Structure 1
Amino acid sequence: MNVDFSDKVVLVTGASAGIGESTALLFAKLGAKLSLVGRNEANLRAVAAKCEKQKGVKPLAIVADLGTDEGVEKTAKDTLDHFGRLDVLVNNAGISARTCIQLTDMATFDEVFRVDVRGVYNLTRLLVPALVETKGNIVNVSSISATVVAVGSLPYGMAKAALDHFTRLVALELAPKGVRVNAVSPGVTVSTIVKRMTGYTEEEYQAWLSAAATAIPMGQVCEGDDIANMIVHLASENSRLVTGTVVEVDGGLRYGSAGNLLARQMK
């Protein structure tokens, strides 16, 4: 079945880089009307410009911090005011932190949960009525950190575990309304999140990716497009009876030495 989103409105959070950028570009290639959200205005507008070049459809670019109620409310209001509907919500925005229970503080916990859990919860809550109207769907972007246990992955792993269960709970609640809810759980993926978290230089980051690949059964780290392809597949009619699923895209990392790899990342 061909995938065509030319009559669909798609909201992608965390769209200014990494997985969000790849996802926005793929939806743009498939004709979607896009609402793109990010905190970095320059990057976000650059991504929006790339998307517009695909099919000539100008995205709505919303600069907002989804760790705040104001940012979430602005995102929901601006999207619905501009397009009058919503068909797909991609909850991709997220932050991470390197810490463990012996070193952490509550400010770090609150920061991660505010974006990765509370922001998703709140934005979904506000947009569910619009998704019920269109019988749309939601794709949450999780992480194998939700299920792989590694020293140092607090509180990110906890937040992503909460997101996985949120996916299942909301899927069950909204299924009778015709709204599907799924999640994609990436493994090691080329993005900006590790560099932000570690402070690695580009050279150090490339060395880390090379080391990571050796711990992955399929021998390769994921690219943003690998995750974007699964997000679009789940959002499309090709997945019309798929709901409440968490799909890992990780090259088999969760079956290999993922815990050791994630722990090394924390050092």
Structure 2
Amino acid sequence: MNLDGKVVIVTGASSGIGAKAAEFFCREGAKAVLVARNETKLKSVSEKCKAAGGSHIVIKADVSNDEDTKNIIDNTLKEFGKIDVLVNNAAVGCYGNILDGNFVKSYDSMVNINLRAILQLTCLATPYLTKTKGNIVNISSVTSFASPKGTIGAYGLLKAALNYFTKTAAAELGSSGVRVNTISPGPVYTDILENSGARFSFDRLEATTLLHRVSEPDEIADLILYLASDKARGITGSNYVIDNGVLLKKSK
């Protein structure tokens, strides 16, 4: 993947997609910066990164806190001296709809992590990404396209805003040699739904797909690594959907 020696910041690295991406980056010889709030889970991922053979550091941080986001950049530069890739993966889920009166409450509980933190980290990392001709990979969701009924409207709204920001950033930073892309997964075996307090089952999620399956985190991690690598040097402003046919099924 041509990632040897690349310095990569991965937010939300304590579980799921972020954890697997961090492990894969280390396996490919990158220098990974693992960022998350859960220190216990970060330590577990750190052990897997050690086994993968790559250099890495762990930063316990809340990306919704401006001081913490500044520390992420500062500590990365102190340890590795540069930034090549920023993977904005951290996200939370909170459910509520218009009819139950909880739409704004759910939006407010998510906006700082799911959107504002990404804007902040992008702005803080950009001066260093322009020096390395680096790139950004943002993790969105098919809910940004699907106009879902029920309780995930605010989540999809924020992911749709992230898609727009990706294109805005790609258009602005392209002349500086910085690429910005998005991945929009469908159902994935992660703990975001469980942590949201939503009532769900993976069997029900499987039924929403054409391929009758839920993705594993490594499938999304593989795509993250590809977009972060020089193999994707001609790709910017793009949104890659990996949803097992969720959107196609909705359109039928």
The TM-score range, normalised by the shorter chain, is over 0.9
* Secondary structure in 2 matching 1:167: helix
Checking the alignment, whether the CA contact within 8 Å between 1:67 and 1:111 is kept in structure 2 is no
Decide whether aligned partners of structure 1 residues 107 and 80 sit closer, same or farther in structure 2, where only a CA change above 3 A counts: farther
Partner AA of 1:176 in structure 2: S
- RMSD of aligned alpha carbons: 1.6
Deviation at 1:199, TM superposition (A): 5.6
What SS class does the counterpart of residue 184 from structure 2 fall into? strand
The equivalent residue for 2:73 is 76
**For each residue in 1:28-61, what CA deviation from the matched residue of structure 2 results, as whole angstroms up to 9, or x when unmatched?**
1101101010000010111012101111x34110
CA contact (8 A) 2:2 2:230 kept: no
Change in Cα spacing, 1:43 to 1:253, as seen in structure 2 (3 Å) is same
* Structure 1 position 212, deviation (Å): 1.9
Counterpart for residue 181 of structure 1: 180
Deviations, residues 61-106 of structure 1 (Å, cap 9, x unaligned): 0001111112211111111121110101000001111111232164
Equivalences for residues 1-267 of structure 1 within 5 A = 3-55=1-53, 57-102=54-99, 103-104=101-102, 106-151=104-149, 152-198=151-197, 208-257=201-250
CA distance in 2, matches of 1:76, 1:99: 34
In structure 2, C-alpha distance between the alignment counterparts of 1:211 and 1:106, rounded to whole Å: 27
TM-score with structure 1 length normalisation? Answer: 0.90
Distance in 1 separating the partners of 2:211 and 2:63: 35
Partners of 1:233 and 1:63 lie apart in 2 by 26
After superposition, the C-alpha distances for 1:195-233 in whole angstroms (9 at most, x for unaligned) are: 111366xxxx6xx21222222111211110110011111
Taking structure 2 as the reference length, what is the TM-score of the superposition?
Answer: 0.95
Q: Do the aligned partners of residues 48 and 133 (structure 1) sit closer, same or farther apart at CA in structure 2, a change above 3 Å counting?
A: same
Q: Deviations over 1:215-259 (max 9, x none)?
A: 21112111101100111111111111100001000011111149x
Aligned sequence identity (%) = 37
Unaligned ranges ≥5, structure 2: none
In structure 2, C-alpha distance between the alignment counterparts of 1:69 and 1:228, rounded to whole Å: 27
C-alpha contact (below 8 Å) 2:23/2:48 kept by paired residues: yes
Structure 1 segments of 4 or more deviating over 4 A?
A: none
Contact 1:14 1:20 in 2 (8 A): yes
| Amino acid in structure 2 at the alignment position of 1:138 | I
Deviation (angstroms), 1:110: 2.0
> Any idea what the Cα deviations from partners look like across 1:148-183, whole Å, max 9, x if unmatched?
111221311111000000000000101111100000
Aligned residue for 2:240, secondary structure, equals: strand
What count of residue pairs does the alignment treat as equivalent? 250
Unpaired runs of 5+ in structure 1?
259-267
Q: Is the 8 A contact 2:93 2:155 kept in 1?
A: yes
User: Aligned to 1:6, what secondary structure does the other structure show?
Assistant: coil
